[in-house]
Structure 1
Amino acid sequence: MNDSASGPTNLATDSANVAVQAEAIHGPVNVYQVAAAVSAEETFQAGLNSLRAGMAQEARKHIRDAVVLRNYVNGHSCFYLLLALLSGRTLQQVPRDEIAMLRCVRGAVKDDDEWTDAIKLVDRLLTSRPQEGGVVGLEQEFQKLTDEQRNDILQHMEMFLDSSAEDALWARAFDAARTDRCANDRLRRAWKFFQPDPIGARALPTDPVVIGLGVRTAITATTTLAVATVGYIGAMAWQYDGTVALSALLTLATACYVSLRSGVEWRYKKQRWHAKDRAYLLRPATTTRGDGFASKIDHQFEHYFARYTPRGADRAQWLAETVGVRRALRDEVVTIYRESTVNAKSVAWLIRYMVADVARRWQADTLWDFRKKLRVPFLLKVLCVLTSITAIAAGAFLVWAGAHVEILLVSLAAVPALASVWSAARLWLRIAAEYRRYSADEAERDRILAGRRAAFDRWKKKLADRPDDLEMARWLECDRKALMEEAMTLYRLKRQDVLAHAFIEAPATPSYSRARVEDGPWRYSKYKILLFLLTTDGVRQLTQQLDFQKATTRSRARTNYRYDAFTSVQVAETDSGENVFELTLTNGDPIKVKVTDPPSDITETEDKDPQGASQLTLGTAGLGNALHVLEGVAAEGKKWIAFERQREKLPLAEVSRAVNALFT
């Protein structure tokens, strides 16, 4: 967000540390959550959402609960129960007890059900083999389905599109991925998913006016004594000459009032000037160490002050001249938001607004305008001095007039009168200036808070169309399909040339953002995607860096190796909580990829189940199928492919019988 009309540049200094830019947990959003009292249909919908988000294990649990345990049985639910059982794994990975679930709802689908054709096509894909006319037949069946059914089959039956008869379906899947990859305004909206929910606008509370008991006692005593002594002197002067005494008293009272008023304004302006100078110019530029809230606020201010350098300005000069302002704003943010539940990234919107406002005023040469506003006018000083002299002269005249009546007592009263008037004036000046300061602080706070609330509202409005997790999952699925198409084109392979394939999705280090919805997996702004293609000649590995927010890829790396080059495959959890995939070959260094991040201080305070989120992310990253395929190759070499086909015959027959039982 840039609220500066001066248009700051988007640059960072050489020392900027950007690492993980945002970490957000959105919720509750009720996409994957199932409350205890919800209906079977709502449970099924939560399972369907989980399936489309790539969380097949969660989907199987919810859909099984709705269909088998709560009797939500129809063609729609049976179709997605079947897809959930098969999604992201081979037939060898489908447990027999899960296949048995289909038998629990035998006869549930009628021939005229709108989901009948979709279920039968799933069975056809499982049992299809290369044959003449197979492509035409599948295409015709596929055309009968709705867009929703087609998209879900192409996504979750990917592991079973492995015969020449399915080449046309892969071509259709690639076409759909190209169409949907930037659908729903992805390039404008995707980055918003990684923005944490902003916390509301705040401002430092105004320091109250504090008048201690000692001051109250002193001002009461001095004011009382001043009134008494001046009154006595005035009474004596009245006896000498009433008209002259009245004129002197009125002059004294008026001069004291005007002098006090002008003195209050003088004192207020001077003190406020010095206070702002101390805040903006003389503050020590110390930096907080560690990874706590204050340290993260430090890093944000350093980053945005470097990034929002005004156009045409020398960055070194800009940073040097605003070091005090930066420190004052940093201290304010730390003070008003330093709570155990506040994510430092939740106030990034405010820091951007503050920095952009400073940049705008600095470029307009109004950053130090407070000096002009608080400069004490020369006429105000003259007025204060002249009225003070007038008050002294009027008091002296009263003493002179009263001395003509009672010289000794009036002379004795003049000393405490002068001392009490002087002390009372100083105390009233101090108190009045403090109330003037409080009034100015309140007005300034109201103005600052209004500006921040407006910035907060603009930021909330900007995030209003933030994509949901299902959209993020669909876009990522399109990216995977695009990478698959690119790899097949690069290696000049047809679909029947690929005997098996596997994906691994991991965050692209070192700089990325991550976010998740409650009960959902982590999504990353940048991915490192590994694609393994098993062909008759060996393994083709394609690795690419994906900028998810821009839907672009870079840094493509190709690796080819024989089946007998595998030594071991594993996923290990490090001491810090990271999950690392490691593929060891007979020659060369191991291929290591960090698949999930360790829990951070943010997830520990905001996340109810950080370990569960890590497991969900592992599931959506494709590790289950990748390990099944690569471990099989590591153990059995090229023969694994033939053995796998042989091992699939029994579960294939069981699944096919269970599917056909749905119609009997």
Structure 2
Amino acid sequence: MNAPGGSTTNIADGSATVGVQAQTVHAVNFYEIFPGDSPERKFEVGLRFLRGGVPAKAREHIGEAVADGYVTSRSCFYLLLALLSGRTLRQVPKEDLAMLRVAQGRIVGGTDEWTEAIGVISCLLTSLQKGDVVPATVEAELNRLGQVQRDEIQQNLEMFLNGSIQDDLWARAFESARKDRCDQRRLDRIWKFFQPSPAGARVRRPNPEAATIGDWGRLIGASALSLAAVCFVGVLAWQHAWLSTLPALLLFGVGCYVCWRNGVEWRFLVERRRDKDRDYLAVGPKPAAAQRGFAGKIDRQFDHYFARYVPRNTERAQWLAHTAGIRRTLRDEVVDIYRESRTDAEKVAWLVRYLVSDVRQRWERGTLWDYRDRLRVAPSTKGLFVLGVAASTAGGATMIWAALQVQPFHAVVAAVIVAAAGRVAALGWLRIVLEHRRFAAEQEDARRSLAGREAAFERWTAKLADRPSDLEMAHWLDCDRKALMEEAMGHYKLKPSDVVAHAFIEAPGKSYKRARVSKGPWRYTRYSLLIFLLTADGVRQMTADLDFVEASFHDKGRINYRYDAIAAVHATEADDGGRSFELTLVNGEPIKVKMIEALQAVAEPGEDERSVSRVTLDAAGLGNTLHVLEGVAAEGKEWIGHERKREEDGLAALADAVQGISPRYE
């Protein structure tokens, strides 16, 4: 065995996957079929599956549409491609050929581009059956077709075409892959597929004003009693000396007003600043729940982005230390306003980024602590409050002294009532006014915050507006696979016609994110790609880590082994949902690939986890790979001759089915 570049285990082992960082399911009806959908709708969904690299689902839906009566030259063309896509002739069952034969017989109408495409496939199959394929003729026939039909044939018939015809078709395929690999602004858009649809902007609503009916009753009673006592004292004072009572009463009234107005302002600013300080400065130990679930994910997001978005000319340690309080406050708010709706933490990552960047911008502008200046009590307010207290005290004392000269006992009782009831009334009105101002201020803050967050939400939504479709993702991935296959053939100096069969596996790479549309296969930010090239001499295998977002290969490895070196090939499905592929060589060295990680919540409501796994495995090419490698493990090098012999009958039956005539072989 020749294994240049390292041992088998080091090159091909894919079992060391770090795991998923985030997962997203886009709730779009791209692959959805609903009860009562027309056969035409089922066909269109099946066609999307075919173009999305999931031929098994394409066969299911297109076949069902044709069986339900949607029989056209176009539907028969794509039914034929679905039957052949992703598998060899040996894997095409007789019942599929019977369905195709019946459908072909029901086509009515004249010749169009789709019937011409079917005719080209029919001629090609007949030539392959007879062994008289002329590459130039095949090339001419394909060039006679439209671009759509030609590309579809080239894309879906790669598994069973062999001989010299492969050289021309694969040369065309490689050229197309090189041209399309970064087409449609792939490098600018592909990362957006892995971003979830963002949750809408929210803010924490201020607590309502805390005043009950009982509070209002006590307040009104105390106010009325206090006012009545003041009036009684004023009447007694008036009786004694009205000339001095009038200015004393005015001094008392003006003093109370000035004292009240400035005292409320003073108290409000102090409490408001204290609340802001608590939000910006106070830091306590993290609750245990912060390390788990949604709260833990949000906590880690804030830690990550605060560590990442460090202001200019600022040390990270200083930045993190001085913003610990506001970081905790913002984190608690996000957890509080989204947790009850079971929102995925990734859907509010945009908000976390916005909040952190807003704090950074205010830090850089020097306005992060502006509230302390804005809420500082002015000296004039303090001075007027003191003057108001002095004026009201002087006026009140003057009136009480005059009242004592008329009715001492009643004046004393009235003064005590004024003091007691007035204190209760003043404190009650102070609390209500402060609550009203607090609520108004917090509402204004919430309004400004919501406006900023809504603007950030709109910007993020607009940025994701050109998110790639699943078909674009499938096409780019196919281009990457062909790029690696072309590199492998170039390294081993193989022509496509030298390759008896080929197989591939696309498994998740290390430390990946993943996303999919509803009912569709998982797409990953990183892949571990394996290409198997079966030649007359043995197996040529190339592995590579694909950074799907950057369209770049890393950590490539190669290994060669003879057919008799393959001891066993099998796929396993664990009880926890994990899927893996393993090829064991006679020397005991395994080539392992983790196909699907054992993760929770892989299926959305209305989906079956096994169905999601099957779709993903079909898109990863596991079915054909197992067919090829299991055959080699069982028969060795003789598999090549046996497979060609087995395909002869398949070619004949397939050619007859395409032509819509009775089969020659039963």
TM-score, length-scaled by structure 1: 0.93
Cα offset, 1:387, TM superposition: 0.5
Cα offset, 1:104, TM superposition: 0.8
The answer to whether structure 1 residue 364 and structure 2 residue 398 are counterparts is: no
CA distance in 2, matches of 1:648, 1:132: 16
Whether the 8 Å CA contact 1:599–1:610 is kept in 2: the answer is no
CA distance in 2, matches of 1:142, 1:612: 36
Q: Which residue of 1 aligns with 2:95?
A: 97
Residue 484 of structure 1 aligns to a residue whose secondary structure is helix
Whether the 8 Å CA contact 1:502–1:532 is kept in 2: the answer is yes
Q: Which residue of 1 aligns with 2:5?
A: none
Q: Which residue of 2 aligns with 1:161?
A: 161
Whether the 8 Å CA contact 1:125–1:160 is kept in 2: the answer is no
CA distance in 2, matches of 1:555, 1:378: 70
CA distance in 1, matches of 2:605, 2:453: 25
Residue 450 of structure 1 aligns to a residue whose secondary structure is helix
Whether the 8 Å CA contact 2:488–2:542 is kept in 1: the answer is yes
Whether the 8 Å CA contact 2:503–2:621 is kept in 1: the answer is yes
Q: Which moved more, 1:515-524 or 1:103-112?
A: 103-112
Q: Which whole-Å deviations, capped at 9, do the CAs of 1:233-253 have from their partners, x for residues lacking one?
A: 101112223343232222212
Q: Which residue of 2 aligns with 1:255?
A: 255
The answer to whether structure 1 residue 519 and structure 2 residue 519 are counterparts is: yes
Cα offset, 1:111, TM superposition: 6.5
Whether the 8 Å CA contact 1:60–1:81 is kept in 2: the answer is yes
Residue 529 of structure 1 aligns to a residue whose secondary structure is strand
The answer to whether structure 1 residue 649 and structure 2 residue 648 are counterparts is: yes
Q: Which residue of 1 aligns with 2:541?
A: 541
Whether the 8 Å CA contact 1:110–1:663 is kept in 2: the answer is no
Q: Which whole-Å deviations, capped at 9, do the CAs of 1:124-153 have from their partners, x for residues lacking one?
A: 444545988812111111111111112211
CA distance in 1, matches of 2:345, 2:160: 46
Cα offset, 1:395, TM superposition: 0.4
Whether the 8 Å CA contact 2:580–2:593 is kept in 1: the answer is yes
Cα offset, 1:195, TM superposition: 0.7
Change (3 A) 1:637 1:85: same
CA distance in 1, matches of 2:125, 2:325: 69
Whether the 8 Å CA contact 2:113–2:146 is kept in 1: the answer is no
Cα offset, 1:23, TM superposition: 1.4
1:16-165 to 2 correspondences below 5 Å: 20-27=20-27, 29-67=28-66, 69-107=67-105, 108=107, 112-128=111-127, 134-165=134-165
CA distance in 2, matches of 1:663, 1:180: 41
Q: Which residue of 2 aligns with 1:373?
A: 374
Q: Which residue of 2 aligns with 1:416?
A: 417
Q: Which whole-Å deviations, capped at 9, do the CAs of 1:537-591 have from their partners, x for residues lacking one?
A: 2111111111111211111111111111111111112243211111111235311
Letter in 1 for 2:77: F
Change (3 A) 1:430 1:110: closer
Residue 339 of structure 1 aligns to a residue whose secondary structure is helix
Q: Which residue of 2 aligns with 1:611?
A: 610
1:192-203 to 2 correspondences below 5 Å: 192-203=192-203
Whether the 8 Å CA contact 2:577–2:597 is kept in 1: the answer is yes
Q: Which residue of 1 aligns with 2:485?
A: 484
Letter in 1 for 2:438: R
Letter in 2 for 1:180: D
Whether the 8 Å CA contact 1:229–1:417 is kept in 2: the answer is yes
CA distance in 2, matches of 1:359, 1:412: 61
Change (3 A) 1:73 1:663: farther
Residue 430 of structure 1 aligns to a residue whose secondary structure is helix
Q: Which residue of 2 aligns with 1:8?
A: none
Whether the 8 Å CA contact 1:225–1:420 is kept in 2: the answer is yes
Whether the 8 Å CA contact 1:117–1:144 is kept in 2: the answer is no
Cα offset, 1:291, TM superposition: 4.4
Q: Which moved more, 1:177-186 or 1:493-502?
A: 177-186
Q: Which whole-Å deviations, capped at 9, do the CAs of 1:97-135 have from their partners, x for residues lacking one?
A: 111112212432767222233113323444545988812
Cα offset, 1:197, TM superposition: 0.9
CA distance in 2, matches of 1:625, 1:278: 63
CA distance in 2, matches of 1:223, 1:132: 110
CA distance in 1, matches of 2:308, 2:605: 29
Change (3 A) 1:168 1:646: same
Change (3 A) 1:329 1:471: same
The answer to whether structure 1 residue 279 and structure 2 residue 289 are counterparts is: no
Cα offset, 1:371, TM superposition: 1.1
Q: Which whole-Å deviations, capped at 9, do the CAs of 1:337-366 have from their partners, x for residues lacking one?
A: 003531111111111101111111122222
Letter in 1 for 2:500: L
Q: Which residue of 2 aligns with 1:232?
A: 232
Letter in 2 for 1:550: E
Letter in 2 for 1:478: C
Letter in 2 for 1:654: A
Letter in 2 for 1:441: E
CA distance in 2, matches of 1:286, 1:422: 41
Cα offset, 1:31, TM superposition: 2.0
Q: Which residue of 2 aligns with 1:600?
A: 600
1:390-405 to 2 correspondences below 5 Å: 390-405=391-406
CA distance in 1, matches of 2:328, 2:617: 42
CA distance in 2, matches of 1:611, 1:313: 51
Whether the 8 Å CA contact 1:565–1:585 is kept in 2: the answer is yes
Change (3 A) 1:279 1:613: same
Cα offset, 1:639, TM superposition: 0.9
Whether the 8 Å CA contact 2:76–2:104 is kept in 1: the answer is no
Alignment: residue pair count:
643
CA distance in 1, matches of 2:290, 2:437: 39
Whether the 8 Å CA contact 2:291–2:299 is kept in 1: the answer is no
CA distance in 2, matches of 1:418, 1:572: 86
Q: Which whole-Å deviations, capped at 9, do the CAs of 1:64-118 have from their partners, x for residues lacking one?
A: 1221x22222221111110000110011111111111122124327672222331
Residue 438 of structure 2 aligns to a residue whose secondary structure is helix
CA distance in 2, matches of 1:428, 1:341: 41
Whether the 8 Å CA contact 1:285–1:327 is kept in 2: the answer is no
Whether the 8 Å CA contact 1:161–1:170 is kept in 2: the answer is no
Residue 184 of structure 1 aligns to a residue whose secondary structure is coil
Residue 32 of structure 1 aligns to a residue whose secondary structure is coil
1:459-608 to 2 correspondences below 5 Å: 459-509=460-510, 511-587=511-587, 589-601=589-601, 603=602, 608=607
Letter in 2 for 1:234: G
CA distance in 2, matches of 1:428, 1:543: 77
The answer to whether structure 1 residue 349 and structure 2 residue 347 are counterparts is: no
Residue 59 of structure 1 aligns to a residue whose secondary structure is helix
Where structure 2 has 5 or more consecutive residues not aligned to the other structure, the ranges are 1-17
Where structure 1 has 5 or more consecutive residues not aligned to the other structure, the ranges are 1-17
Letter in 2 for 1:626: T
Residue 465 of structure 2 aligns to a residue whose secondary structure is coil
Cα offset, 1:408, TM superposition: 3.0
Q: Which residue of 2 aligns with 1:450?
A: 451
Q: Which moved more, 1:455-464 or 1:159-168?
A: 159-168
Whether the 8 Å CA contact 1:22–1:196 is kept in 2: the answer is no
Q: Which residue of 2 aligns with 1:661?
A: 660
Letter in 2 for 1:430: R
Q: Supply the RMSD in Å over aligned alpha carbons.
A: 2.1
Whether the 8 Å CA contact 2:403–2:411 is kept in 1: the answer is yes
Whether the 8 Å CA contact 2:656–2:662 is kept in 1: the answer is no
Whether the 8 Å CA contact 1:341–1:605 is kept in 2: the answer is no
CA distance in 1, matches of 2:127, 2:598: 43
Sequence identity percentage: 52
CA distance in 1, matches of 2:210, 2:290: 35
Q: Which whole-Å deviations, capped at 9, do the CAs of 1:475-500 have from their partners, x for residues lacking one?
A: 11111111111111111110111111
Letter in 1 for 2:152: D
Q: Which residue of 2 aligns with 1:632?
A: 631
Letter in 2 for 1:76: R
Whether the 8 Å CA contact 1:259–1:387 is kept in 2: the answer is yes
Q: Which residue of 2 aligns with 1:6?
A: none
CA distance in 2, matches of 1:662, 1:240: 128
Q: Which whole-Å deviations, capped at 9, do the CAs of 1:163-192 have from their partners, x for residues lacking one?
A: 112311111111111111112111111111
CA distance in 1, matches of 2:557, 2:628: 21
Q: Which moved more, 1:590-599 or 1:650-659?
A: 590-599
Q: Which whole-Å deviations, capped at 9, do the CAs of 1:589-627 have from their partners, x for residues lacking one?
A: 3111111133424x4565633331111101100000000
